[in-house]
């Protein structure tokens, strides 16, 4: 039972890791936590649903359409709504991102109401059985897709010239601007990347869960919990935190009570903030005077 719960936790946690990683990308690039990010995940799922069910598109083109649309949306939000208020108080960023999330949620409600929608299954993968452990086809797709995406992401970040530019802006926006990097365009691209990654999570979720407008709230809090556990600003921490959160949910549900699954993310946030505020890989800020 233990191994089955751990495998299931890794499969679920891989989605949390992707959400947390996309939150961290935006946070590291702009020092803003996008509280509307969960609704971007939901929007990506509904775009895929609309393309497949209403337009009759194959799943792969529908997934690409969702990724492209959410990339543009993320870029537009940063350039049109976040950039104009950057001189104001930091709380304004939080309020703006929450407002954008509610606009997305309201837009979906205007189109589908509060109806819970099932999407046709598209992952036709046979389960993998090893002894008493069963890895479902959905779990194989989840883990494989997320692992591939993250490997490509980290290779680009740490092994390419583009990654060096990203690191430069992460370390010092002012210094990056002095060497000719367009920091404003970088911020827009960062939000676009965050939106695209949210779409990937939504697209992977769409065929295996019921879709409804409030779907994103659950994944925002889980992504935030994973980000907190791993350490704010740590890309490796975001991935590790997501996987650990997924396994924690399954272990609590399997050995204690299934009622704890829904509150596991909140328990993790409370425990980390009390016991280790910087998370597993976070660093204490040092102020030089």
Write down the pLDDT at residue 35.
93
Say whether pLDDT at 216 is over 80.
yes
Say whether pLDDT at 17 is over 80.
yes
Q: Mean of the pLDDT values across residues 200-206?
A: 89
Share of the chain above pLDDT 90, in %: 40
Query: For all residues of the chain together, what is the average pLDDT?
Result: 86
Is residue 260 a contact partner of residue 250, using CB atoms and an 8 Å limit? no
Say whether pLDDT at 154 is over 60.
yes
Among the ranges 66-70, 85-89, 204-208, 210-214, which has the highest mean pLDDT value?
66-70
Which residues 6+ apart lie within 8 Å of 213 measured at CB? 42, 105, 108, 109, 112, 114
C-alpha angle 229-173-40 in degrees, rounded to nearest 5: 50
Say whether pLDDT at 286 is over 60.
no
Q: Mean of the pLDDT values across residues 122-140?
A: 76
Give one DSSP letter per residue of the chain, joined into a string: -HHHHHHHHHHHHHHHHHHHHHHHHHHHHHS---TTHHHHHHHHHHHHHIIIIIS---HHHHHHHHHHHHHHHHHHHIIIIIGGGTTS-THHHHHHHHHHHHHHHHHHHHHHTT--EEPPP------EEETTEEE-HHHHHHHHHHHHHHHHHHHHHHHSHHHHHHHHHHH-HHHHHHTT--HHHHHHHHHHHHHHHHHHHHHHHGGGSEE-TTHHHHHHHHHHHHHHHH-TT-HHHHHHHHHHHHHHHHHHHHHT-GGGTTTHHHHHHHHHHHH-TTTTT--------
């Amino acid at each position: 039972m233990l191994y089955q719960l751990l495998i299931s936790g890794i499969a679920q946690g891989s989605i949390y890791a992707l959400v947390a990683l996309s939150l961290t990308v935006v946070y590291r690039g702009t020092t803003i936590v996008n509280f509307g990010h969960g609704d971007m995940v939901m929007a990506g799922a509904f775009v895929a649903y609309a393309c497949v069910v209403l337009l009759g598109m194959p799943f792969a083109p529908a997934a690409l359409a969702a990724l492209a649309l959410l990339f543009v949306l993320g870029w537009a939000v940063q350039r049109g709504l976040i950039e104009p208020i950057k001189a104001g108080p930091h709380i304004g960023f939080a309020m703006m991102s929450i407002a954008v999330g509610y606009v997305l949620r309201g837009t979906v409600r205007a189109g589908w109401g509060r109806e819970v929608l099932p999407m046709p299954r598209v992952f036709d993968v046979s389960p993998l059985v090893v002894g008493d452990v069963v890895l479902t086809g959905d779990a194989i797709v989840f883990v494989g897709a997320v692992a591939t995406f993250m490997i490509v992401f980290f290779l680009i970040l740490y092994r390419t010239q583009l990654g060096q530019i990203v690191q430069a802006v992460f370390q010092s926006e002012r210094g990056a601007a002095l060497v000719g990097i367009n920091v404003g365009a970088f911020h827009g691209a960062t939000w676009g990347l965050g939106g695209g990654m949210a779409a990937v999570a939504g697209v992977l979720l769409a065929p295996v869960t019921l879709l409804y407008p409030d779907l994103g709230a659950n994944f925002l809090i889980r992504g935030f919990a994973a980000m907190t556990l791993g350490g704010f600003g740590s890309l490796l921490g975001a991935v590790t935190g997501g996987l650990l959160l997924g396994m924690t949910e399954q272990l609590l549900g399997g050995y204690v009570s299934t009622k704890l699954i829904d509150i596991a993310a909140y328990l993790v946030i409370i425990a980390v903030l009390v016991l280790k505020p910087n998370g597993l890989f976070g660093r204490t800020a040092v102020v030089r005077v």
